[in-house]
Structure 1
Amino acid sequence: MKKILSLLVVSAALTLGLAACGGADEETTAKQDQTAETSTAATGGEFTITAKNWKFTSDKELVIKKGDKVKINLVNKEGVHTIKNDELGINLTADKPAEFTADKTGEYELKCSTVCGAAEDHDAMKIPLKVID
């Protein structure tokens, strides 16, 4: 009986040990995926921004290289929103993507330009865009 009990304890310990190792592999894979996504963010190209009451999200980090041609699409999931930034010449609506060439480095805010709620909610509706060398 003692041998069976000892065997069960050892089996349980091995099972828990292997499960913990599997979790570490998943965590490592998730970190690698996140790193890959971040490393491709600074390539310019095309971005899609999704608008929900009172928040913007993007399919990837809005970091582009100076000189890159950029296309930004807007999808309204809740409410009606637009995006504007005068410095970059962006005037974006859900039916008309914005295209521009980033000609100077800096950090910019893309802001909702359609009043979409109480002043504090509307004023907080923005998303950062960064242009790097």
Structure 2
Amino acid sequence: MNKKSYLFLALVAIAAVIALSACGNNNNNNSSASSSPSASASSSAAAGGEAKAITISAKSFEFDQTDIQLNVGDTVTLTYTNTEGNHGLAIPDLNVNLKNGESTTFTVDKAGKYDFNCSIQCGAGHDNMTGTITVS
């Protein structure tokens, strides 16, 4: 083999390691909080809703909750954890993006459906990691 062949094989091997490491077990217990959702951050008493604590956990290619029901005015403290693999949780319409061990608090101020998904490319089942928050 010539030098170009060795270089090509080395690059392919590095790319394979990077791609496969995305699904590795990375349980960094980050305790940082994200608190910039676009939903209003008013208090639940002023909005007339309830305070709710929700924890969503993920393991290989699935969330433990995929259908969450809320009411307009609910103030939610959302915590996200990985139980297996390396995943994240994004709710684009609420400007939420959490990694393992992170939490955020937001108030849902309008009715609708808010889709969530895995925010870290994690392998073959990544596209199946979805859910919906329904606010009525």
Q: TM-score range by the shorter chain?
A: 0.5 to 0.7
Alpha-carbon distance, 1:63 to partner: 0.9
- Paired residue for 2:68? 62
Alpha-carbon distance, 1:109 to partner: 1.4
For the Cα contact (< 8 Å) 1:107–1:131, is it kept in 2?
yes
Q: Separation in 2 of the partners of 1:105 and 1:51?
A: 26
Q: TM-score, normalised by structure 1?
A: 0.60
Q: TM-score, normalised by structure 2?
A: 0.59
Q: 1:53 aligns with which of 42, 57, 60?
A: 60
| More RCO (CA 8 Å, sep 6+) | 2
Identity among equivalent positions (%) equals 34
> After superposition, what is the alpha-carbon deviation per residue over 1:31-76, rounded to whole angstroms, capped at 9, x for unaligned?
xxxxxxxxxxx95501111101000013x95111111110111121
Q: 2:83 aligns with which of 77, 86, 92?
A: 77
For the Cα contact (< 8 Å) 1:47–1:73, is it kept in 2?
yes
For the Cα contact (< 8 Å) 1:83–1:93, is it kept in 2?
yes
- Paired residue for 1:122? 126
Q: 2:118 aligns with which of 112, 119, 124?
A: 112
For the Cα contact (< 8 Å) 2:52–2:77, is it kept in 1?
yes
> After superposition, what is the alpha-carbon deviation per residue over 1:72-112, rounded to whole angstroms, capped at 9, x for unaligned?
11121110111112211211122211211101111121100
**Runs (5+) with no aligned partner, structure 2:** 1-48
Alpha-carbon distance, 1:116 to partner: 0.5
Letter in 2 for 1:52: K
Counterpart check, 1:98 vs 2:76? no
Q: Separation in 1 of the partners of 2:93 and 2:79?
A: 18
- Paired residue for 2:14? none
Q: Separation in 2 of the partners of 1:81 and 1:127?
A: 14
For the Cα contact (< 8 Å) 2:50–2:75, is it kept in 1?
no
For the Cα contact (< 8 Å) 2:92–2:115, is it kept in 1?
no
* Aligned pairs, number: 88
